[in-house]
């Protein structure tokens, strides 16, 4: 065999000598065992994954990379990825890939990139989810919103969506329902970016007054807008502190939990408006709400900045009690007075025949608009009624002055306007270039108006105790559409 391996031909004499040698070995009591250890590391070559490297003997996954140099020693992988596989084939090895089973770019560490439209939809959806007052149960109108969130998240199975619900335990249970009218959510943070910064470790809650007096004109354009500008400027100068937002009028709730995301907090500040809460100035409740957000903070410094123009005139908690609570939890309170000494004109927002609120600014994001429409609920309006003239006026203000293309307003209503100024306002809108269309909802026969009274379903009644019948007012809607240069549909 040796001769054949080396291409050597043995003659008869040599073959006889070899045969005699083999017989001698067979008759010997001690048969020699030949062990080959090429690198001299004490491990035979047939057991050594690296027979020529005395420093290494093991390659568990058999990929040709010794375990001590293999970043994935139990998974077969090429040398270009330091021994790690690339399961999803996105060019990022599994050892560095945050989503190893789904291809994605380097910018998101191998996870699929979330579309801008989906991000914006999630941001709006999280703010549209509503809880029952003072409870952890969802309102029924939130189910449609949650379905849209779930549909988006199914497209990104490697991501997690975090929400934060505020459930206060500082205050007596009987006042939680009033104090926290709507729990606030943190917007979704769908990012894998990491940044190491040196921060001072300060937690700051802004508490801003949204009572109707904040619309007083002694500041330009009004007190609230000036307060918002001051707050936004302050936020931008504190990039590494955690900051949150509480709002109050006749009631109070957390608008934005503590966060280091300046953009989120700035967005919330920019959208603040009077009329979203019952009117009044419950300074004590606003302060208590902000303190409640800070009470469990481990920050070395906890601060509340209170921006208000008035004197406490409502609420279950007075400012003195709230201040004592703040002192107990080592929270420092700074107050900024908004307004000037003396008198100032204050617009009256609330009317007995209803009011109008801008729920969503103009956008071309139809998915976001759909979310807001699905979450619409009569309870969102603080004052009930049918103020079509207010809706037209608000729609006119919603358009930017430099928009040159055609403007349109679609009013969906039963037409039972409780004020006769809707037609004149429609004419004013038409003169300003706004085309108004009306869509009638309901029947001329009509139906009783239900409402929930402590869990019981009842019908609304007039001053004489007679159930209120709501009917579709077609002539009124037709006249509004005609005055607004549009058409009526039913």
pLDDT (tens digit per residue) in 127-181: 666 666 656 666 666 666 677 777 777 777 766 665 544 443 433 333 333 222 2
Which pair of tokens denotes residue 356?
């109008």
- Residue 349, pLDDT above cutoff 50: no
Confidence of residue 245 (pLDDT cuts 50, 70, 90): very high
pLDDT of residue 127: 64
Q: Please check whether residue 106 lies inside any domain of the structure.
A: no
Residues 322, 424, single domain; the answer is no
pLDDT of residue 96: 78
Question: Average pLDDT for residues 318-337, to the nearest whole number?
Answer: 89
Residues 391, 485, single domain; the answer is yes
Q: What pLDDT digit, counting tens, does each position of 266-308 carry?
A: 988 988 988 878 888 999 999 999 999 999 888 888 999 999 9
Residues 295, 437, single domain; the answer is no
Residues 132, 238, single domain; the answer is yes
Task: Give strand pairing partners of 308.
Answer: 337
Q: Please check whether residue 225 lies inside any domain of the structure.
A: yes
Q: Please check whether residue 368 lies inside any domain of the structure.
A: no
Confidence of residue 441 (pLDDT cuts 50, 70, 90): very high
Residues 202, 311, single domain; the answer is yes
Residues 406, 281, single domain; the answer is no
- Residue 326, pLDDT above cutoff 70: yes
Q: Please check whether residue 468 lies inside any domain of the structure.
A: yes
- Residue 20, pLDDT above cutoff 50: yes
| 188 neighbors 259 (Cβ within 8 angstroms) | no
Residues 299, 421, single domain; the answer is no
Task: Give strand pairing partners of 450.
Answer: 459
Q: Please check whether residue 374 lies inside any domain of the structure.
A: no
Burial class of 7 by CB neighbour count within 10 A (0 to 12, 13 to 18, 19+): exposed
Q: Which of 303, 337, 371 finishes a domain?
A: 337
Q: What CATH number corresponds to the domain at position 429?
A: 3.40.50.410
Instruction: Give the integer Cα–Cα distance in Å for 473 and 454.
Output: 31
Which pair of tokens denotes residue 9?
């031909």
Q: Please check whether residue 478 lies inside any domain of the structure.
A: yes
How many domains does the structure of the chain reveal? 2
Question: H or E segment at 77?
Answer: none
pLDDT of residue 18: 79
pLDDT of residue 478: 92
Q: Which of 300, 321, 337 finishes a domain?
A: 337
Residues 278, 419, single domain; the answer is no
| 286 neighbors 248 (Cβ within 8 angstroms) | yes
Residues 175, 317, single domain; the answer is yes
Bridge-based pairing state of the strands 447-448 and 469-470: antiparallel
Nearest alpha carbon to residue 249 among 217, 219, 218, 224: 224
pLDDT of residue 382: 46
Give percent of the chain with pLDDT exceeding 90.
16
Confidence of residue 107 (pLDDT cuts 50, 70, 90): confident
Structural domain boundaries enclosing 210: 116-337
Q: Please check whether residue 33 lies inside any domain of the structure.
A: no
Which pair of tokens denotes residue 267?
């967005």
Under 8 Å CB-to-CB from 394, ≥6 apart: which residues?
A: 356, 357, 358
Question: Average pLDDT for residues 431-447, to the nearest whole number?
Answer: 90
pLDDT of residue 247: 94
Q: What pLDDT digit, counting tens, does each position of 446-469 carry?
A: 888 887 665 577 887 877 888 888
CA distances from 300 to 196, 208, 329 (A): 19, 24, 12
Cis, peptide link before residue 238, omega less than 30° from 0 = no
Q: Please check whether residue 29 lies inside any domain of the structure.
A: no
Confidence of residue 405 (pLDDT cuts 50, 70, 90): low
Of 216 and 80, which is predicted with more confidence? Answer: 216
3-state helix vs strand vs coil in the chain, percent to 5: 30, 15, 55
pLDDT of residue 384: 65
Q: Which of 320, 337, 354 finishes a domain?
A: 337
Of 5 and 47, which is predicted with more confidence? Answer: 47
| CA neighbours closer than 13 Å in the CB half-sphere of residue 228 | 20
Residues 317, 397, single domain; the answer is no
Instruction: Give the integer Cα–Cα distance in Å for 284 and 264.
Output: 26
Residues 316, 216, single domain; the answer is yes
Under 8 Å CB-to-CB from 298, ≥6 apart: which residues?
A: none
Instruction: Give the integer Cα–Cα distance in Å for 405 and 103.
Output: 43
Residues 434, 312, single domain; the answer is no
């Amino acid at each position: 065999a040796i001769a054949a391996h080396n291409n050597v031909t043995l003659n008869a004499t040599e073959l006889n000598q070899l045969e005699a040698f083999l017989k001698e070995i067979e008759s010997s009591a001690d048969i020699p065992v030949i062990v080959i250890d090429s690198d001299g590391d004490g491990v035979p070559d047939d057991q050594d994954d690296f027979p020529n490297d005395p420093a290494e003997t093991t390659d568990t996954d058999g990929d040709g990379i010794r375990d001590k140099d293999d970043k994935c020693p139990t998974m077969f992988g090429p040398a270009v990825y330091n021994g790690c596989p690339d399961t999803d084939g996105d060019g990022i090895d599994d050892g560095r890939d945050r989503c190893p089973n789904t291809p994605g770019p380097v910018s998101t560490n191998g996870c699929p990139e979330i579309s801008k439209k989906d991000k914006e939809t999630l941001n709006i959806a999280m703010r549209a989810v509503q809880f029952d007052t003072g409870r952890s149960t969802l309102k029924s109108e939130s189910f449609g919103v949650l379905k849209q969130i779930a549909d988006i998240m199914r497209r990104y199975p490697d991501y997690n969506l975090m929400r934060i619900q505020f459930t206060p335990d500082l205050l007596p249970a009987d006042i939680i329902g009033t104090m926290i009218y709507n729990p606030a959510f943190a917007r979704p943070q769908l990012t894998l970016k990491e940044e190491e910064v040196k921060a001072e470790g300060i937690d700051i809650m802004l508490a801003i007054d949204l009572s109707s007096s904040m619309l007083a004109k002694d500041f330009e354009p009004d007190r609230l807008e000036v307060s918002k500008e001051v707050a936004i400027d302050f936020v931008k100068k504190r990039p590494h502190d955690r900051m949150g937002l509480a709002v109050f009028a006749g009631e109070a709730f957390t608008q934005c939990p503590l966060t280091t995301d300046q953009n989120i907090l700035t967005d919330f500040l920019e959208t603040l408006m009077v009329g979203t809460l019952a009117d009044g100035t419950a300074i004590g409740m606003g302060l208590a709400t902000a303190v409640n957000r800070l009470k469990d903070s481990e920050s070395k410094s906890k601060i509340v900045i209170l921006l208000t123009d008035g004197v406490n005139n409502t609420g279950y908690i007075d400012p003195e009690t709230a201040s004592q609570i703040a002192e107990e939890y080592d929270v420092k309170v700074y107050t900024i007075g908004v307004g000037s000494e003396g008198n100032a004109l204050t617009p009256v927002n609330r009317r007995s025949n209803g009011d109008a609120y801008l729920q969503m600014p103009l956008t071309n994001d139809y998915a976001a608009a759909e979310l807001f429409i699905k979450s619409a609920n009569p309870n969102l309006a603080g004052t009930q009624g049918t103020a079509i003239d207010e809706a037209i006026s608000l729609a006119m203000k919603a358009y930017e002055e430099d928009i040159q293309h055609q403007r349109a307003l679609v009013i969906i209503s039963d037409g039972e306007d409780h004020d006769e100024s809707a037609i004149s306002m429609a004419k004013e809108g038409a003169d300003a270039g706004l085309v108004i269309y009306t869509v009638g909802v309901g029947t001329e026969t009509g139906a009783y108006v239900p409402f929930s009274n402590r869990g019981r379903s009842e019908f609304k009644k007039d001053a004489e105790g007679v159930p209120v019948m709501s009917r579709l007012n077609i002539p009124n809607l037709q006249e509004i559409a005609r005055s607004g240069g549009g058409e009526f549909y039913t």
